[in-house]
Amino acid sequence: MAALIWGGAVVTLLGVAGLMFCAAQSLKARTLPEDQARAAMARVVAWNLGSVGVAVLGLMAVVAGLLLR
């Protein structure tokens, strides 16, 4: 079960890294003209949703590993 816990922790960290990437991209989009900023933010929203999903799956693996321990 330790592999499930550590694997879930790695997946969760990947999701958090994705969220930090989204934050950086949204800060860069603030300097763009409005039409380009809207397009950039549409891409960021998709990445954000994926990153949150990955982080949740990782946390679920960690909890499952702890419960099965």
Indicate the residue type of 33.
Answer: P
Give the global pTM: 0.87
Report pLDDT digits (tens) over 10-42.
999 999 999 999 999 999 999 999 999 999 999
Asked if 25 and 47 touch (Cβ cutoff 8 Å), the reply is yes
**Burial bucket for residue 22 (CB in 10 Å: 0-12, 13-18, 19+):** buried
Domain count, the chain: 1
* Domain, as residue range, for 58: 2-68
